[in-house]
Amino acid sequence: MIIDRYIARELTFTLLAVFGILMVVLLSHQSVRYLADAAAGEIPGNMILMLIGLKAISFSGLVLPLALFLAVIASLGRLYRDSEMVVMAACGVGSLRVLGSVTRTAVIVGVVLALLSLYLDPWAAEQRSRVMDRARAKPEMSDVTSGRFQESAQGGAVYFVEHLAPGGNLENVFIQYHHADGNSGILVAERGRQEPDLQTKDRFLVLYDGRRYENVIDKQEYRITSYQRYGILIPLPHIATGERRREAVASTELFFSTAPGDRAELQWRWSLPLSAVLFAALGVPLSHSTPREGRYGRLFTGILIYVLFSNLLSVARNWMDRGVTPIELGLWWVHGLLLLLIVSMMIDANGLRALREWFRRPRMIS
């Protein structure tokens, strides 16, 4: 029991460290993308933290199996390099005993992964879609920033406001527009404000005391018009209400569905906790090393195996989605290959080594 707790503690600390590093890398990259979208005006700045938190839930389900696999290789590899595993073997603690200790920890991680992939991840995907829909549904010029050029959502206009006065008044407004028919122009005004139409519920940008410079292509003329009051309709964005993304569908709905794509998504969610346990078991024979062996050689081999397995799993999911493979076979054949690899490596690490030693043992000649 003491050795089991010792191995579990080493594995847990390494798992937390690897998981934290991978999450920081992924979330940093995602944060840069969200900041770029916010700078372009595609999403409001106050939604960035919410989107990062929701994305962290999705990343956790993908990172945990890899983090557990690398943690097993790194932690057990350190025990081999420090000759602690040799001492354990001399005390009767073999590979199967270590496998049992690692598997118990992996089962706990698998339960957490099952909760993430079956319940939390679909909920986070649904919430993330709603947040993005709310961001896209915001009317044009609802987030005006002073002193910065901003492009409209349709890309047909660029506007600039020098100063935002109290009460929503705009000072020194500049708008450059380009229509689909080729006509373009520039609007400048000393001041302006957004005003709703109480009857039609439309919103207008009303400019005061300005000029309009218009280039009319078909008439080949250039017009300059002065105005005291000029209204521009602010179009409301059109959000298409398409089908829900399959990753946001609840697992209970997928369970009662007979569509191949839904069944593939459900098996994909179950494959995450199952693959975590299998990869943890694979890390036990893969971590076996000698004190003189390199520190990162086993990690590199483990990453190659994980990449190959992930690609095979994606291919199996695509085949099942298109109906190439039956539902009964689904994604499970990939896990079967991984299980065969684990058994073969465990036999090579135990049975074949004992067999070689038996043949090398000197014998009495009668």
In which band, very low, low, confident or very high, does the pLDDT at 139 lie, cut at 50, 70 and 90?
A: low
CA nearest to 196, candidates 234, 167, 228, 160: 234
> 116 with 23: CB under 8 angstroms?
no
Token duo for residue 350: 């135990």
pLDDT for position 85: 66
Q: Taking residues 146-150, what's their average pLDDT?
A: 74
Most confident of 82-86, 131-135, 168-172: 168-172
Residue 306 C-alpha from the chain's centroid: 18
How much is the pLDDT for 357? 47
Whether the predicted pLDDT of 274 surpasses 80: yes
Tokens 């439309």, residue?
202
Name the β-bridge partners of 234. 203
Q: Is the pLDDT of residue 138 over 70?
A: no
Identify the H or E element spanning 222.
strand 221-234
pLDDT value of residue 115? 92
Q: Which of 105, 131, 119, 12 is nearest to 61 (CA)?
A: 119
Q: What is the pTM of this model?
A: 0.71
Q: What pLDDT, on a 0 to 100 scale, did the predictor assign at position 157? A: 77
Fill in the DSSP letter of residue 247. Answer: G
Lowest mean pLDDT among 18-27, 34-43, 327-336: 34-43
pLDDT band of residue 147 (cuts 50, 70, 90) is confident
Amino acid 140: pLDDT: 58
Residue 149 near residue 39 (C-beta atoms within 8 A)? no
Query: Which whole-number Å values give the CA distances from 11 to 15, 79, 101, in the listed order?
Result: 6, 11, 10
What tokens were used for 210? Answer: 């300005």
Per-residue pLDDT band for 178 (boundaries 50, 70, 90) equals: confident
330: Cα separation from own chain's centroid: 24
The one-character DSSP state at 152 is -
For the cut 50, the answer to whether the pLDDT of residue 351 exceeds it is: no
327: confidence class by pLDDT, cuts 50, 70, 90: confident
Query: What is the secondary structure of 70-107 as a DSSP string?
Result: HHHHHHHHHHHHTTHHHHHHHTT--HHHHHHHHHHHHH
User: What is the per-residue pLDDT across 23-63, written as a single tens digit (0 to 9) for each?
Assistant: 999 999 989 888 887 776 677 777 888 889 888 998 998 89
First to last CA, the chain: 46
Alpha-carbon distance of 355 to 69, in angstroms, equals: 29
Percent of the chain with pLDDT over 90: 12
Which tops the pLDDT comparison, 270 or 137? 270
Q: Please name the residue that has the structure tokens 């067999």.
A: 355
In this prediction, residue 328 carries a pLDDT of 81
More confident residue, 294 or 197: 197
- How many angstroms separate the CA atoms of 9 and 257, rounded? 42
Mean pLDDT lowest among 11-20, 75-84, 170-179, 239-248: 239-248
Model confidence pLDDT, tens digit, residues 225-267: 888 888 877 766 555 544 457 777 888 888 888 788 888 888 8
Query: Does residue 213 sit in helix, strand or coil?
Result: strand
- Name the burial class of residue 205, with classes exposed (0-12), middle (13-18) and buried (19+) by CB atoms within 10 angstroms of its CB: buried
Residue 68 has a pLDDT of 92
